[in-house]
Amino acid sequence: MKRYVILISGRGSNMESLLDAGLPGVCAAVISNRPDAAGLASAASRGIATVAIDHRGFAARSEFDAALAAEIERHAPALVLLAGFMRILGDDFVRRFEGRLLNIHPSLLPLFPGIKTHAQALAAGVRLHGCSVHFVTPALDGGPIIAQAAVPVQADDDVASLGRRVLAEEHLLYPRVARWFLEGRLHLVAGRAHLTGEIAVSGALHAPQTDQMRG
């Protein structure tokens, strides 16, 4: 059975959605760059090995990356999942795990890379917002997109309300993509995500709608 490692920095809600999904693999470890990350206690309560590597204890980013990579390799994972891991990883680290390093980002990439994505979406006035799962490359939030989920932006949305709806979709989408990878259906091929058995999606979501459109 394939092994996977999850990287977190905080409460770990996406980590919990992955662990609750009954994935066809074994979570070998949950690793955080913050010793006080709440997700570590949650993982430990499930009997999963946890490791904290405090990035503040390293003089250079490259030193932290090397220590993190060594710890990950110790668990021999087929897949590394970034689940709210709030550190930018260096090019050498990313290339070391190329093709088996995934991230979930709270926007419809390539829109709104980086942080505060819900505020960016509201400021831009978009009608649809959402989340994306992608292969990680040296370009920040710029790797090949695997899957996306969209939600309509409501007229009365604020950052909190929009964020809650997007997060609910993250909790559905990320385990689905992780399952594809662990089942051997998802690969990085010539710089693009290739999914065996993919079915074309038809139809469209219109936002906003009016009564006439529904009729």
Q: Give the pLDDT mean for 158-184.
A: 98
Give pLDDT, residue 204.
87
* pLDDT greater than 90 at residue 13: yes
Give pLDDT, residue 213.
59
Residue 201's pLDDT band, with cuts at 50, 70 and 90, is: confident
Q: What amino acid positions are annotated as catalytic residues?
A: 105
* pLDDT greater than 60 at residue 214: no
Give pLDDT, residue 148.
98
DSSP labels for the chain? --EEEEEESSS-HHHHHHHHTT-SSEEEEEEES-TT-HHHHHHHHTT--EEE--GGG-SSHHHHHHHHHHHHHHT--SEEEESS--SPPPHHHHHHTTTSEEEEESSSTTSS-SS-HHHHHHHHT-SEEEEEEEE--SSTT-SPEEEEEEEEPPTT--HHHHHHHHHHHHHHHHHHHHHHHHTT-EEEETTEEEETT-----S---SS--HHHH-
* pLDDT greater than 70 at residue 212: no
Give pLDDT, residue 63.
98
What share of the chain in percent tops pLDDT 70? 98
pTM for this structure?
0.95
